[in-house]
């Protein structure tokens, strides 16, 4: 049972200095509340009306909000209260709300926070194109976006994002299974020059046409995840090797049509690849590094 809320923040002994007597904006907000986890803030605001006002002032000035700090599950009412006054958010992560988060919950928050640069909505399957429309229209500085396992993301939704988010650098489209080559081609042509990190993992409808267009339009691409993209083959990987000099890592596990010859050029450049080379290739690499070739009986 919660203690009753006190009107002034608690009783005060003669000569004592209460926490709330310290300067709020100069001391309490930057040096105390900034170090208190969100879960504890929910408890602190129940102590008294004064503490509630202090917490609300702190929340209104948040630059980063990660619902995971509250816990693995967060009630809708708690999220609404925590974000109701926030107007300067730059980072927003809401994966723990994936079971119930809707457009009606999120769109007003996006509208109040045009400075957002990073938004993580992995697994939030109750959202729709309306959310991406709000992001595209109201958050022109968006740089990082995670939509992993959001089955509602389709080509039309992605098109609006590509048209209106010129600063986009990192995009996670893992298991957005409605996406096809055409949507990724459009993304590459519109936003490719700035993309550095992209995941298309577990998208069976994405193939070489999309990868080749990404390669030709994304010279700054550093990390590309194609895990489980069954239609991606060696042609796409060869194009990546030709056009993406900044590439540092490539994920092609379970891409059964990608052959080692198409990967070898990337390996020689030091690109981190998540599949091991064949045995004879591994021996050559070992010989190059160590200066000798170990004896291996290949007839065993």
Domain limits, the chain = 20-60, 62-285
Which residues have a Cβ under 8 Å from the Cβ of 227 and sit 6 or more positions away?
201, 202, 251, 252, 253, 254, 255, 274
Q: Which pair of structure tokens corresponds to residue 217?
A: 């339009």
How confident is the model at residue 7, as a pLDDT? Answer: 46
DSSP state of 222: -
How confident is the model at residue 126, as a pLDDT? Answer: 96
The yes-or-no verdict on residue 195 having pLDDT over 80 is: yes
Alpha helices, DSSP H only, in 172-233?
181-191, 208-217
52 — pLDDT class (breaks 50, 70, 90)? confident
- For every residue of 55-108, DSSP letters joined together read HHHHHHT-SEEEGGGT-S---HHHHHHHHTT----SEEE-GGGTTT--HHHHHH
How confident is the model at residue 9, as a pLDDT? Answer: 47
How confident is the model at residue 277, as a pLDDT? Answer: 86
pLDDT tens profile 10-23: 455 555 557 776 66
Task: Give the range among 23-37, 78-92, 183-197, 212-226 with minimum mean pLDDT.
Answer: 23-37
Most confidently modeled range among 47-51, 83-87, 238-242: 238-242
The yes-or-no verdict on residue 71 having pLDDT over 90 is: no
Mean pLDDT across the stretch 150-176? 95
Q: Which pair of structure tokens corresponds to residue 273?
A: 């690849």
Distances (CA, A) of 125 to 129, 147, 172: 11, 9, 15
Share of the chain above pLDDT 90, in %: 68
Task: Give the range among 29-33, 46-50, 80-84 with minimum mean pLDDT.
Answer: 29-33
The yes-or-no verdict on residue 29 having pLDDT over 80 is: no
Distances (CA, A) of 199 to 158, 219, 222: 14, 16, 11
How confident is the model at residue 291, as a pLDDT? Answer: 61
The yes-or-no verdict on residue 281 having pLDDT over 80 is: no
How confident is the model at residue 8, as a pLDDT? Answer: 46
Which residues lie across from 172 on neighbouring strands? 146, 199
Between 50 and 281, where is the model more confident?
50
Computed from CA positions of residues 53, 108, 73, 228, in that sequence, does the dihedral angle turn out positive or negative?
negative
Under 8 Å between Cβ of 228 and 255: yes
Mean pLDDT across the stretch 209-214? 98
286 — pLDDT class (breaks 50, 70, 90)? low
The yes-or-no verdict on residue 105 having pLDDT over 60 is: yes
Give the right CATH number for 62-285 from 3.40.50.1100, 3.80.10.10, 3.40.50.2300, 3.40.50.300: 3.80.10.10
The yes-or-no verdict on residue 170 having pLDDT over 60 is: yes
Mean pLDDT across the stretch 182-190? 97
d(CA 107, CA 126): 13
Report the Cα 85 to chain-centroid distance in Å.
24
How confident is the model at residue 51, as a pLDDT? Answer: 79
d(CA 80, CA 75): 9
d(CA 117, CA 89): 8
d(CA 235, CA 258): 8
How confident is the model at residue 21, as a pLDDT? Answer: 66
């Amino acid at each position: 049972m919660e203690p009753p809320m006190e009107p002034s923040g608690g009783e005060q002994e003669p000569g004592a200095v209460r926490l709330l007597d310290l300067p709020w904006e100069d001391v309490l907000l930057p040096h105390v509340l900034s170090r208190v986890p969100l879960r504890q803030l929910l408890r602190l605001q129940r102590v008294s009306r004064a503490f509630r006002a202090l917490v609300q002032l702190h929340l209104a000035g948040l630059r980063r909000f990660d619902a995971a700090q509250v816990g693995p599950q967060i009630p809708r009412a708690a999220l609404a209260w925590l974000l109701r006054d926030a107007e300067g958010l730059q980072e927003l992560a809401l994966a723990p709300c994936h079971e119930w988060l809707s457009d009606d919950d999120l769109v007003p928050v996006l509208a109040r926070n045009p400075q957002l640069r990073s938004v993580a909505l992995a697994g939030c399957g109750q959202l729709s194109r309306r959310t991406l429309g709000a992001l595209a229209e109201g958050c022109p500085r968006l740089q990082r976006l995670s939509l992993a396992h959001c089955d509602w993301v389709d080509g039309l939704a992605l098109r609006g994002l590509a048209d209106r988010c010129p600063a986009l650098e990192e995009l996670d489209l893992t298991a957005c299974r409605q996406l096809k080559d055409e949507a990724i081609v459009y993304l590459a042509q519109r936003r490719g020059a700035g993309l550095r990190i992209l995941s298309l993992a577990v998208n069976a409808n994405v193939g070489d046409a999309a990868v080749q267009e990404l390669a030709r339009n994304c010279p700054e691409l550093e990390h590309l995840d194609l895990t489980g993209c069954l239609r991606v083959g060696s042609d796409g990987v060869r194009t990546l090797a030709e056009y993406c000099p900044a590439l540092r890592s490539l994920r092609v596990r379970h891409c059964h049509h990608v052959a080692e010859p198409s990967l070898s050029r990337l390996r020689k450049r030091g690109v981190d690849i998540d599949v091991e080379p064949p045995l004879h290739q591994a021996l050559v690499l070992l010989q190059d590094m160590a200066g000798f070739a170990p004896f291996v009986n290949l007839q065993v």
